[in-house]
Amino acid sequence: MGKTQTSTARYWARMPLVTRLPALVWFTLALASAPSLGFAWGHEGHEVIALIAEHSMTPAALQKARAILGGASLKDVASWADDYRRDHRETGPWHYIDIPLADSEIDRARECPNGQCVIAQTEHFLSVLKDPSADPPKKAEALKFVIHFVGDLHQPLHDEDNSDKGGNERHVVFGGKTDNLHWVWDTGLLEHIDRNPEELAAELEATITPARPG
């Protein structure tokens, strides 16, 4: 495939209007339009993202999403894809795309070979959600992946690489201890903030306005 612009934001800018919307609104519309549907990103971070998404959804879209998930909330399944990865290591590359930091474009043939990256897999699972012939277990699995991958897509260290495996090989001192930059961004910062997911989601939602959607 040809090259596209490098950052996730620029990538979405090349997509149809619905995918150019802020991540949470885009996710909501993706759910609502499916034919069968009528900051830091560790475990807690994904819960926060899911809570904000739930609060942004219409009651009908939320009801349909929970029906697909067998009654579970988005928050309940927000980290399912990470848990699944432990026993299905082949899904590891689905959570990120290593775009060289110095590059001004994405080369999907190089950075997403055979669709093994977060962009391609998000597109794939959205297509499953929109497929009227997909059976309920497949739709539930697809929705759980989409919920998680929308969060991963907007964690910069899941999208770009500076010859350090997305910050995993970049050592920093945080809280007086040495750790890798990826862990600090994913989990350490949220532990330092020390809010429960509901409180943090409410604080972040208060900053979302039409002029600053996310």
Please give the radius of gyration of the chain, using alpha carbons only, rounded to the nearest integer: 17
Three-state SS sequence of the chain: CCEEECCHHHHHHCCCHHHHCCHHHHHHHHHHHCCCCCCCCCHHHHHHHHHHHHHHCCHHHHHHHHHHCCCCCHHHHCCHHHHHHHHCHHHHHHHCCCEECCCCEEEHHHHCHHHCCHHHHHHHHHHHHCCCCCCHHHHHHHHHHHHHHHHHHCCHHHCEECCCCCCCCCEEEECCEEEEHHHHHHHHHHHHHCCCHHHHHHHHHCCCECCECC
Residue 182 known to be catalytic: yes
Residue 158 known to be catalytic: yes
Q: Which of 80, 98, 148, 159 is catalytic?
A: 148
Residue 186 known to be catalytic: yes
Q: Which of 12, 94, 182, 185 is catalytic?
A: 182
Residue 154 known to be catalytic: no
Residue 171 known to be catalytic: no
Q: Which of 12, 26, 154, 158 is catalytic?
A: 158
Residue 192 known to be catalytic: no
Q: Which of 46, 80, 154, 185 is catalytic?
A: 46
Residue 43 known to be catalytic: no
Q: Which of 43, 55, 66, 85 is catalytic?
A: 85
Residue 159 known to be catalytic: no
Q: Which of 12, 26, 80, 95 is catalytic?
A: 95
Q: Which of 98, 152, 159, 161 is catalytic?
A: 152
Are 16 and 10 contacting, i.e. CB atoms less than 8 angstroms apart? Answer: no
CA distance 128 to 135: 9
Active site residues: 41, 46, 82, 85, 95, 148, 152, 158, 182, 186
